[in-house]
Amino acid sequence: MDEATPGESKRTASTQTSGAPPPFGSRFLTPSRSVWEQNAWDHVPPPDDQGERIALSLERQRASRVSDADRNRYNARPEKYWDAFYRLNQGNFFKDRKWLHLEFPELFQATREDAGEVTVWEPGCGVGNALFPLVQENENDQLKLVGCDYSKKAIEVVHANPLYHPPKGSLHAQVWDLASPLGLPESIPPGSVDIVLLIFVLSALHPDEWTRALANIWTALKPSGLVLIRDYGRHDLTQLRFRTNRLMEENLYVRGDGTRVYFFELGELGGLAQTQSPLPPAYPLPPHPLFSAQQLGIDRRLLVNRKRQLKMYRVWVQAKFCKL
C-alpha cells in the first residue's frame, strides 16, 4: 500500500467533535513552539495555501484519469487486489492500534470480566489488527468476536494467528463480502450484534456499494446497536499525493497495487447514517433512516519528518452511528 493507515503513528486521543474540548494529553502547536520540535501535532488547521495545493493536485489528477477499461477491471474483482496485497505483506503492517482505546472505549468495555454477553463484528477485518488487541485484553468469557473480509488471503492470515483460539470468549473469522446482496454470513444471525467496527473499510468500497453495506450492518445489529467508523478524510495528504492515472471517480482512487480508496467529507459520512435502502433487501428494512449519528468528528494532524523537513497534513473522519 502506498500510504500509512492513520493511527499507525503513535497517537493521543484526537477526534474533535462539534465544539468539544480537545482531549487531555493532546500535542498542540502554539506560537512559542517550533514545528520541528516533535513528530506529530494535534488539531492543526491546514496551511494558508492549502486551497491552492488542493486545486493543483486535483487539476493534475483530473487531467489524466484511470481509463474506462482499467476502472472496470479494478471494480470488477476488487478482492483479488487485496488478496495480492496480503500475500505480499502478510501481517507486517498497521500494527499499532493503541488509539482504538482512546477513540472507541466501548470496545474495551466489552472485554471487562463483568461485561456479559457482547458480540463485536468487524466486516473488512483484514488480518485482524483491530480484533487481536481485543483478544489480548479480553477478560470476558461471554465476548464473541467475529471478523469477515472478502480477501481469502486476509482470512487465512487471521486463522494462522496463534491468538485465533482465545483462552476467553470466542473468535471466528470468515470470507464474506460486506456489499453482498445475499444476506449475512452464517456466523451473524440478524439482530445479533452489539457493536460493528468499520476501520478504513467504507473507503475501500465503491460508493455504489455503501447502501448495501449499511443495510447489511443494520440487519446484523441489535436494536440500538452501535457502528464505530474511522476512515480517510477529504484532502488528506495521501489523496493530494496521488498523481496521474489514479483517479477513478471524484474522490475515489486506485493505488499502485490495485486497491481502491475513497476520501470522505465529514457531512457525507454523516449522511450515510440517513441511508434508506432503495435496493431489494435480503431482509426487510424499515421505511425510515437506518441510523442516527451520535458522534461525527474530523481529526486533523500534522506529522513532521524532521530529518527531511517535511510537513504532512493528515485528515481522518470518525463516526458513531446508532441503529434506529
Ligand X SMILES: C[S@@+](CC[C@H](N)C(=O)[O-])C[C@H]1O[C@@H](n2cnc3c(N)ncnc32)[C@H](O)[C@@H]1O
Q: Which is nearer to ligand X, 100 or 240 (CB)?
A: 100
CB nearer ligand X, residue 119 or residue 203: 203
The DSSP string of 189-204 is -TT-EEEEEEES-GGG
Q: How far apart are CA 229 and CA 142, in angstroms?
A: 24
Coil vs helix vs strand at 142: coil
Instruction: Quote the CA–CA distance of 294 and 169 in Å, as a whole number.
Output: 28
Residue 17's beta-bridge partner residues? 297
Under rule CB under 6 A, how many of the chain's residues touch ligand X? 20
CB of 43 to ligand X, least distance (A): 23
Query: Which of 121, 132, 150, 262 forms a contact with ligand X (CB under 6 A)?
Result: 150
β-partners of residue 316 are: 232, 299
- Amino acid found at 257: D
Does position 318 interact with ligand X (CB under 6 A)? The reply is: no
Q: Which CB atom, from 107 or from 201, has the smaller least distance to ligand X?
A: 201
Half-sphere exposure of 281 (CA within 13 A, CB side): 21
Among residues 6, 123, 133, 233, which is the contact residue for ligand X, using CB under 6 A? 123
Judged by CB under 6 A, the chain residues 64 through 103 that form the site for ligand X are 82, 94
Angle, helix 78-89 to helix 152-160, in steps of 10 degrees: 40
Residue nearest to ligand X (CB): 126
Compute the least distance from the CB of residue 284 to ligand X, in Å: 22
Which amino acid is it at 264? Answer: F
Stretch near ligand X under the rule CB under 6 A, chosen from 40-48, 102-110, 118-126, 249-257: 118-126
CB 299 within 8 Å of CB 317: yes
Q: Considering only the stretches 103-111, 149-157, 235-243, 269-277, report the one whose residues sit in contact with ligand X under the rule CB under 6 A.
A: 149-157
Letters for 152-181 (x = contact with ligand X by CB under 6 A, - = none) are --x----------------------xxx--
- Applying CB under 6 A, which part among 16-24, 144-152, 284-292, 300-308 lies near ligand X? 144-152
d(CA 72, CA 51): 32
At 57, which amino acid appears? S
Rounded to whole angstroms, the Cα distance separating 121 from 59 reads 40
The residues in 198-257 that bind ligand X, with binding defined as CB under 6 A, are 199-201, 204-205
- In angstroms, what is the minimal distance from the CB of 259 to ligand X? 7
Distance separating alpha carbons of residues 307 and 320, to the nearest angstrom: 37
Window 35-64: contact mask with ligand X (x via CB under 6 A): ------------------------------
Q: Which residue ranges make up the site for ligand X (CB under 6 A)? A: 82, 94, 123-126, 129-130, 149-151, 154, 177-179, 199-201, 204-205
